[in-house]
A = this chain, B = another copy of it.
Amino acid sequence: MGKQTTEMLKGTLEGIVLAILAVRPAYGYEITSRLREQGFVDIAEGTIYALLVRIEQRGLVDVQKVPSEKGPPRKVYSLNASGGEVLAEFWRTWGFLAERIEQLHHAIEHPREEGEH
């Protein structure tokens, strides 16, 4: 994907990851590969780990180290109450933005005189 995707992910990627964790706990590598499966083929691994560090420091997730059968121990993240609140706020913000952008899209596809001022 292009630069546009990168910039558009700012602010939304955090919500995406919180939403993934809301479904069930997961560790960084797992999140990255699940995102790739879902079509986000170009999200850098380092980006996800950095994001996880941030949300952990903000206390939005609980962390548990779990030994892996093939590699270093996994850090399994699970959403806690704070994270749930931030996720809820994310959905509100997203809804607001998506609604307005859809309006704009509609305005272009179906232009009309605007009598309201």
Mark contacts of A91-117 with chain B using CB atoms, 8 A cut-off: 1 yes-contact digit, 0 otherwise: 101101110110111011001000000
Contact indicator A19/B93 (Cβ below 8 Å): no
A23 interfacial contact with B, CB 8 Å: yes
The number of chain A residues touching the other chain, given as a range, is 35 or more
Contact indicator A104/B10 (Cβ below 8 Å): no
20 A–B contacts, CB within 8 A, in A order: A2-B89, A2-B93, A4-B15, A4-B86, A5-B93, A6-B11, A7-B11, A8-B97, A9-B11, A12-B97, A12-B101, A15-B101, A16-B100, A16-B104, A19-B105, A23-B108, A23-B111, A38-B100, A40-B100, A98-B98
DSSP class of A's interface residues: helix, strand, loop or mixed? helix
